[in-house]
Amino acid sequence: MKIAHIGPISQLDLVEEYSDFFLAEAEFVLKSEVLTSFYRRMSESNHLVILDNGIWYAGDPLPTADLVEAAERIKATFIMAPDKIDDYKVTAQRTEEFISETLFPRSQIIGVIQGSSMEEKFRCIDHFCELGLRLSLPANDTPEVAHLDNSTLDSGTRIMLKRMFVLDQLEQVGYGSYFKESDKLLFLTGLGNPIEVAINSRSWIYGADSSACFQCGRNNVLFSRQFGCERPQVKLDFSEKFDTEARMRTRFNLQIMNFWLNRKSKGGELKC
C-alpha cells in the first residue's frame, strides 16, 4: 500500500521525500500559490496527484467550479467527486451532477463510497462501477459494527476497526478481486495510524492519504504502534510552522509509518 502524506506548507520537503503519491486539498490549493506550484510540479514530474473535494476541512464539498479550477491549476491525475458523509443517495446525486457539469473523463473521477449500512455501501459501489469511476473508501465512524459503538475503545481504534470490517466484507463478496482485475484499485482516505497499514494492506488497495505523522509531530508525540491509536483531534493548519523538535518528531513519525508500509505489499500499479 502506498501513502500520500499531508503536511503544512513549511514542511513540503518532507511531504515530497516520504510520499509515494500526493493528495491536494482543493480549498487550500485555491488559497496558496505555493501549494499550487508544489502539486503542479509533482504532476509534471509524473507523480500521481489526487484532488480532494474539500469536505474534510470545509464540512461540505467545494462547488464544482472551484474543484475544476483547482484540478486544472495542479494538473490533477484524479479528482474526488462531491459526496456527503454516510449518505448514499445524496452522494450519488452529487457525483452524477459533477460528471454532467465537467469535461473530466470518468476514468479520472473518484467516487466516494458512502452509505449508512453495508447494503447502501454495496449499492454505492455498484452504481459507481457502472458509471466507470474509480473508488475511495473514507474513514467514517458509521454503524456497520454496532457492538463497537458502546465500547471503551478510543475513536481512532473504533474507526479503524469499522473500516477493516467494511474491507473484509468487500473482499468476501468479491469486490476485491474485481478491483484488482479491472485495474480500479481502491483508495483509502484518512489513514490514522500504522496499525491500519498492518491490517488493511491488500493487493486491491492502491494507497491512502494521512496527515497523522505531521499532526503528531506538531504535538511532539511519537507516532508508533506501541503508543495507541487515537487520531489527533486538531486538524492540520497548512500555514503553521514547526520548531526544530516538532520537525524531528515528524521525520521520525514518517519513518515509522513508511517502515510499516515497506513491510507490506505496496499494492498494484495504476494505469492512468
Note the pLDDT of residue 58.
Answer: 76
Q: What angle do helix axes 64-74 and 88-101 make, rounded to 10 degrees?
A: 60
DSSP assignment of the chain equals -EEEE---GGGHHHHHHH-SSEEEEHHHHHH-HHHHHHHHHHHHTT--EEEE-SHHHHSSPPPHHHHHHHHHHHT-SEEEPP--TT-HHHHHHHHHHHHHHS---GGGEEEE---SSHHHHHHHHHHHHHHT-EEEE-----TTSHHHHTSS--HHHHHHHHHHHHHHHHHHTTHHHHHHHTT-PEEE----SHHHHHHH--TTEEEEEE-HHHHHHHTT----GGG--PPPSSPPPTT----HHHHHHHHHHHHHHHHHHHHS---PPP--
Note the pLDDT of residue 57.
Answer: 79
Provide the whole-model pTM: 0.89
User: Rounded CA gap, 183 and 167, in Å?
Assistant: 17
Q: What is the CATH number of domain 2-263?
A: 3.20.20.105
Neighbours of 242 (CB within 10 A): 18
Interval 191-216: pLDDT, tens = 876 677 767 778 899 989 988 888 88
Torsion angle in degrees (nearest 10) through CA of 254, 206, 269, 108:
-110
Please report, for the chain, the start and end positions of each structural domain, with discontinuous segments joined by +: 2-263
- Which phi and psi (to 5°) does residue 259 adopt? -60, -45
Residue stretches of the chain with pLDDT short of 50: 225-229, 265-268, 270-272
Note the pLDDT of residue 41.
Answer: 98
195, 163 Cβ separation under 8 angstroms = no
Note the pLDDT of residue 233.
Answer: 53
